Amino acid sequence: MKRNVIVGQSGGPTSAINASLAGVYRTAKDRGAQNVYGMLHGVQGLLTESYIDLSDHIKTKLDAELLKRTPAAFLGSCRFKLPEIHEDMEVYKKIFGILDKLDIEAFIYIGGNDSMDTIKKLSDYAIITGHPCKFVGCPKTIDNDLAMTDHTPGFGSAAKYIGTSMKEIIRDGFCLDYEHGLVTIVEVMGRDAGWLTGSSALSVGEDCAGPDMIYLPEVPFDLDKFKKKVGRLLKEKTSIVVAVSEGIKAKDGTYICEFGNSIDFVDAFGHKQLSGTASYLASFIAGEFGCKTRSIELSTLQRSASHLASRVDILEATQVGGAAVMAADEGDSGKMVVLERISDDPYQCGTSVKDVHKIANNEKLVPRDWVNKEGDYVTQEFIDYVTPLIQGDVSPIMVDGIPRHLLTPKELSHR
């Protein structure tokens, strides 16, 4: 590389997204790039020429290590969909004008489905106009729903957090003693894909039986079967823990979380209160059996708990960042870096690049045969697939008892 590189982050944050950024920066510098710029808030920020020079932020190897341990998009994220090229050429002209001004030879975008759509459109525009800039995508999403790649960076750390938290929740429930039993419903992210919810099965081990049921959005949820199973289990044990995806739906396509809001309940300020899937199911079960129930949402913590990141995940995230730069340097454009699993045991995984046209706007769901017949648990195949991705730890750098992060450009500007 002889000129400059620009990198952006987009979509929902993860624990590993900044490891990819660190990988992009290091490889670009190693390969001779002059400046490595970071768009603030992705393409949206680029359009207002909001960017930084990453050298001002990653000054030492310690900075790079802190960056890898910092959750959520360091550069800031956005959810910005580029118009179709034929609909609005002006946006593209503006972006390419800025890229020319900054003398950019490679544009790397770290993100999920929507971000790959951005790479697709920009690389298409470059082809149409004969522009030499290369556009390469770097996969990122806790949801693990990107096509063509074995898995996505960010997923492994989220899965490790979910497996660990699930185990801690199961133990908490198990030590309590309620007269009519305790049913805990744990709600996990993933509206359409059940990779994260299924990862609650990682809590299964010699010292833990795991959750009692696991419901993924890929399989229709049968409230009556669920009720019967809970009733049966309540006769056998004092504490039942159920993992549900936020996106489980009844056979007719209604989200279970909508059930709780069938009555027009508006708060004092005129707003409809939407209760979650877990809280609906918890109150449903309490009503049916008179037992104690709890609902727990793992919420934003599952995507930002970098203190429990998976080492495999962080290393792979760094690796795909570097591979994206390398691909662009070698002339690839309109591509996304993918992870290709070479073997399960010992786990080995390499990178390759795939045409982003085949990836953007596609969704990879959990195969039906990785869920049991009853539709209430994942199979051993699922567990074998995820287990290698949560191995190893990235020890947080602790200061005053709390993990240290790298100060972001946005925070710096507030000081």
- Cis peptide leading into residue 346 (ω within 30°): yes
Give the strand pairing for 213-215 and 182-188: unpaired
State yes or no: residue 208 binds its own copies (CB under 8 A): yes
Which residues within the stretch 140-169 sit at the binding site for its own copies (CB under 8 A)? Answer: 160, 163-165, 167-169
Residues in contact with its own copies, shown as a per-residue x/- string from 28 to 67 under the rule CB under 8 A: -------------x--x-----------------------
Residues in contact with its own copies, shown as a per-residue x/- string from 180 to 199 under the rule CB under 8 A: ----x---------------
> For residues 87 and 266, which CB has a smaller minimum distance to its own copies in the complex?
266
Residue 143 a catalytic site member? yes
Give the strand pairing for 335-344 and 347-355: antiparallel
Could you tell me if 37 and 67 are in contact, meaning their C-beta atoms sit under 8 angstroms apart?
no
State yes or no: residue 398 binds its own copies (CB under 8 A): yes
Which residues within the stretch 95-134 sit at the binding site for its own copies (CB under 8 A)? Answer: none
State yes or no: residue 401 binds its own copies (CB under 8 A): yes
Cα separation, 246 vs 302, in Å, equals: 13
Cα separation, 119 vs 138, in Å, equals: 10
State yes or no: residue 406 binds its own copies (CB under 8 A): yes
Query: Least distance from C-beta 329 to its own copies, angstroms?
Result: 28
Exposed e or buried b per residue across 114-138, where buried means at least 16 C-beta atoms within 10 angstroms of its C-beta? bbbbbbbbbbbbbeeeebebbbbbb
One of 35, 286, 341, 354 touching its own copies (CB under 8 A): 286
Residues in contact with its own copies, shown as a per-residue x/- string from 299 to 338 under the rule CB under 8 A: xxx-xxxxxx-x----------------------------
State yes or no: residue 411 binds its own copies (CB under 8 A): yes
Report the C-alpha dihedral over residues 59, 62, 67, 71, rounded to 10 degrees: -150
State yes or no: residue 405 binds its own copies (CB under 8 A): yes
Among 351, 322, 360, 310, smallest CA distance to 145 is for: 360
Report the C-alpha dihedral over residues 62, 64, 66, 68, rounded to 10 degrees: -150
Q: Judged by CB under 8 A, how many residues of this single chain contact its own copies?
A: 88
Query: Least distance from C-beta 352 to its own copies, angstroms?
Result: 25
Cα separation, 400 vs 61, in Å, equals: 21
Cα separation, 21 vs 10, in Å, equals: 12
Which residues within the stretch 218-277 sit at the binding site for its own copies (CB under 8 A)? Answer: 237, 259-260, 262-263, 265-271, 273, 275
> For residues 90 and 264, which CB has a smaller minimum distance to its own copies in the complex?
264
Exactly one of 143, 145, 212, 376 is catalytic; name it. 143
Q: Which two tokens stand for residue 374?
A: 């009853």
State yes or no: residue 280 binds its own copies (CB under 8 A): yes
| Distances in whole angstroms, Cα of residue 253 to Cα of each of 257, 282, 283 | 12, 21, 21
One of 195, 284, 377, 385 touching its own copies (CB under 8 A): 284
State yes or no: residue 409 binds its own copies (CB under 8 A): no
> For residues 279 and 319, which CB has a smaller minimum distance to its own copies in the complex?
279
Q: Which two tokens stand for residue 32?
A: 């001779």
Cα separation, 46 vs 91, in Å, equals: 11
State yes or no: residue 402 binds its own copies (CB under 8 A): yes
One of 127, 128, 176, 342 touching its own copies (CB under 8 A): 176
> For residues 125 and 385, which CB has a smaller minimum distance to its own copies in the complex?
385
Stretch that binds its own copies, among 81-89, 108-116, 202-210, 336-344 (CB under 8 A): 202-210
Which residues within the stretch 68-97 sit at the binding site for its own copies (CB under 8 A)? Answer: 70-78
> For residues 85 and 208, which CB has a smaller minimum distance to its own copies in the complex?
208
Cα separation, 385 vs 223, in Å, equals: 29
> For residues 202 and 360, which CB has a smaller minimum distance to its own copies in the complex?
202
87 by Cβ neighbours in 10 Å (0-12 / 13-18 / 19+) ranks as exposed
Q: What is the Cα gyration radius of the chain?
A: 23
Active-site residues: which are they?
A: 143
